[in-house]
Structure 1
Amino acid sequence: MTTPQDAIAARRKLTNKLIAGKVAARLAPFFDPKVVLIAGDGSLLMGAAEVIAAFDAQFRDPDFIAYVRTSEATEIDSAGLRAAERGRWVGAWKGTPDQSGTYLATWKKVTGQWVIESELYVTLDRGR
């Protein structure tokens, strides 16, 4: 049987792959419709539609390469329905140094599938 940590790790790996593929609409099933995301620059995105639109805008930037999130730990609540994932993220663009930092994601289990309820990204290195 797959552990919640393994299921979340697999979903994170798949989102990294989809971001590298630059097809924003394919990310929609990974987000709760009411997701809240605080981006590395401090901007607030409310709802899956707004998050997907932000990805789409970045994917249209010809210099954008990808975001890669690498999980360092995932903790599951006692009911097995919520999780906190923390790790490091890196954003890459052609011709500029990578940006990177720390992230925290809240996952929740809905109809047997883990979806992202909220994410916080903190930019710690702007690649200057």
Structure 2
Amino acid sequence: MTTPQDAIAARRKLTNRLIAGKDARRLAPFLASDVKVIAGDGSLILGAADVLAAFAGQFADPDFVAYVRTTTGVELDAEGARAAERGTWVGTWRTAGPQSGAYLAVWRKVTGQWLIESELFVTLG
């Protein structure tokens, strides 16, 4: 049986592949409708529609290559319904140097599936 930690790490790896494929619509099943994202520059994005629109905007940039988030740990709440994922991220563009940093994501289990409830990205390099 797959542990929640393994399921979340697998979903993160899949989102990395979807981002590399540059199709924002395919990310929708991973986001809670009320998702909140604090981007690496400190800007706040509220709601799945706006998060998907932000991805679509980046995907339209011909210099954008990908974001890769690497899970370093996942902790569950006592009920097993929420989890905190922490890790590192790297963003790459063809004509600019990479950006990187740390992230924390909150996952919520909804009808048997883990969805991203919120994410905080901190640009460190």
Q: Give the TM-score of the pair, scaled to structure 1.
A: 0.97
Letter in 2 for 1:12: R
- Identity among equivalent positions (%) equals 70
Determine the C-alpha separation between the residues in 2 that align with 1:10 and 1:70.
11
| 1:35-86 Cα shifts (integer Å, max 9, x gaps) | 0000000000000000000000000000000000001110011111000000
Q: Which residue of 1 aligns with 2:42?
A: 42
Cα displacement (A) at 1:7: 0.4
Q: Which residue of 2 aligns with 1:77?
A: 77
Map 1:42-121; keep pairs closer than 5 Å: 42-121=42-121
Determine the C-alpha separation between the residues in 1 that align with 2:13 and 2:42.
24
Residue 21 (structure 2) pairs with residue 21 (structure 1): yes
Determine the C-alpha separation between the residues in 2 that align with 1:18 and 1:39.
18
Determine the C-alpha separation between the residues in 2 that align with 1:87 and 1:8.
12
Runs of 4+ in structure 1 off by over 2 angstroms are none
Which stretches in structure 2 are left out of the alignment for 5+ residues?
none
Determine the C-alpha separation between the residues in 2 that align with 1:51 and 1:96.
23
Determine the C-alpha separation between the residues in 2 that align with 1:57 and 1:40.
16
Aligned length: 125
Q: Give the TM-score of the pair, scaled to structure 2.
A: 0.99
Q: CA RMSD in A?
A: 0.4
Q: Which residue of 2 aligns with 1:123?
A: 123
